[in-house]
Structure 1
């Protein structure tokens, strides 16, 4: 996927046109964004930060279930109730209207996940993501019959064959397949065409700054009526080795960049060549264990 994106960038710069023109031209002026967390807020609670997020112009604030990130034992029954209560408080904080969404992170089994979805239906979230584990996409035939919440799936998928049946059978409402996992820009365009034909929206999972730039070109030249991009912390990354204007971000929206290629210029003098990772990440992958010691999706 990374190599394929680079080839599109090279071709666009050689021809002096932005990649979205090579993909058929712009179909929208900007792509709406949602935030996973909101770093610009000084709010002391997630509910205050979510309210500030919507006030800043982002379309939706995405939250997660209760139960921590592995620092405590996970009790399904307890956190089914707590997650429902958390969503009710969040909905009240942001004023409803689809201003929030939740990623269940595949941490619940089917009975608990459905109980949560049933409780959330009347709150009308923008979407509920990864309700259950996605290794068996066929199980969504059952899930779709049991809940009416908008379903988002796909961040673990790699190409159109992973998600085609979910789209064609209208078992989901939003595709989460993203770059570069999908193999590149052209593969994601093909998935976008499938989504358009079957009235499925696209909300690709966040990956990194270069992929974010490429996603603007893909979604900006595609026609699914519902397109939205994820921004970790509620704002784009600004790597020192990229040009300042590689992304046109304003009032919670990413506007199409008319510069040639992907609009990204890399300055190797400002980059650091990493030979070995010796510091811990700020976002370690948690290991979630239930009371009996079994490991579950986080």
Structure 2
């Protein structure tokens, strides 16, 4: 079997997605997700102009060799744009391999370690009462784990609450650490009292705090037994996590901004986190994620792959296939898609009573309707940005 064509499909059914479709001389094709929110066209260009020409005539079965060739062969390796492009190629190659074997993808990853995977979704509100009201709706659907965010008094457009583009330019939030640190422990005190002790609760800091601030927050959240505290620090300086670990007994999750397995090195070896949250679409796909999961197992770290709506159903299905296979699965993030997504993508993970699974079909289990995709042209958009009250740029 040989690769005959590599297509890059950019579509916007509700939001922008970049899809890779690899075609072969035997009629089999595979799809992958290469979406990088806010920088979609950069990935599409590197796929079309630099990577696709390398793949014509290659054997799609040689996934590891192709992965290494794209990653190491360019010399200028790594970074979110290249690794997202590589992820799209990698997923599409795994999709072809599983289709050729006539097996669901998880079977090629070692087979099932479980029948279904626990998932969580996002719950937010302008105040505590609205958060509770929204949480009860999700609990009625069967969710057993929820991630909570709330509006912060005196701040504008808190992360997870209200992020609206204006004239296709970034929405600008206004944020300060003091009211945030005063509000979040009170939120979880309220939620535990109102929603009980059985519900698994999570919170995303979104890399906004200094190490000492994160230590303070983690310590104050200890009594409310969070499933994990997500992304408390920026990703660049891994040693800062020692400060949190030494000061609080709370599970920590990190990794959605990581691009390779080497980003995990210090956090794993020093056991500074409990859950690894890499995004399969931003770390080179299933090939790298499987290696990270196996490595994490040695250090008692579980998986919690990134799963926001700004990656397509293809990546979400890849998440669940890997969740089903690895022994050290922890939890899976998942969010609802815009209704238009169903016009373009044939399938999504199956949700039932708080758990996700996949259809028992060959490959990833998703196809892309190219004609429908063309009806939803790309629209420039950005993630929000955040600033302090004095105007200083703050991590969003």
TM-score with structure 2 setting the length: 0.67
2:120 aligned counterpart, secondary structure: strand
CA distance in 2, matches of 1:182, 1:79: 31
How far is 1:115 from its partner? 1.8
Please tell me whether residue 54 in structure 1 is matched to residue 139 in structure 2.
yes
Give the root-mean-square deviation of aligned CA atoms.
2.6
Larger RCO, structures 1/2 (Cα 8 Å, 6+ apart)? 1
Whether the aligned pair in 2 keeps the contact of 1:50 and 1:93 (CA below 8 Å) is: no
Whether the aligned pair in 2 keeps the contact of 1:98 and 1:126 (CA below 8 Å) is: no
CA distance in 1, matches of 2:374, 2:124: 28
2:374 aligned counterpart, secondary structure: coil
CA distance in 2, matches of 1:221, 1:146: 34
Q: Which has the higher mean CA deviation after the structures are superposed, 23-32 or 102-111?
A: 102-111
How far is 1:23 from its partner? 1.1
How far is 1:204 from its partner? 0.7
Q: Deviations over 1:48-82 (max 9, x none)?
A: 11133233222311123634337664232222111
Specify whether residues 90 and 71 from structure 1 end up closer, same or farther in structure 2 by C-alpha distance, changes over 3 A only.
farther
How far is 1:243 from its partner? 2.2
How far is 1:37 from its partner? 3.0
Please tell me whether residue 266 in structure 1 is matched to residue 368 in structure 2.
yes
Match runs of 1:210-229 below 5 Å: 210-224=314-328, 226-229=329-332
Specify whether residues 287 and 216 from structure 1 end up closer, same or farther in structure 2 by C-alpha distance, changes over 3 A only.
same
1:36 aligned counterpart, secondary structure: strand
CA distance in 2, matches of 1:63, 1:171: 23
2:334 aligned counterpart, secondary structure: strand
Q: Would you say how many aligned residue pairs link Structure 1 and Structure 2?
A: 289
Residue 119 of structure 1 is matched in structure 2 by 220
CA distance in 2, matches of 1:215, 1:45: 30
CA distance in 2, matches of 1:44, 1:95: 15
Residue 259 of structure 2 is matched in structure 1 by 158
Q: Which has the higher mean CA deviation after the structures are superposed, 178-187 or 232-241?
A: 232-241
Whether the aligned pair in 2 keeps the contact of 1:50 and 1:61 (CA below 8 Å) is: yes
Residue 18 of structure 1 is matched in structure 2 by 104
Whether the aligned pair in 1 keeps the contact of 2:256 and 2:306 (CA below 8 Å) is: yes
Q: Which runs of 5+ in 1 are unaligned?
A: none
CA distance in 1, matches of 2:338, 2:196: 22
Residue 180 of structure 1 is matched in structure 2 by 281
CA distance in 2, matches of 1:105, 1:213: 24
Whether the aligned pair in 1 keeps the contact of 2:215 and 2:243 (CA below 8 Å) is: no
Larger Rg, first or second structure (1 or 2): 2
Whether the aligned pair in 1 keeps the contact of 2:173 and 2:384 (CA below 8 Å) is: no
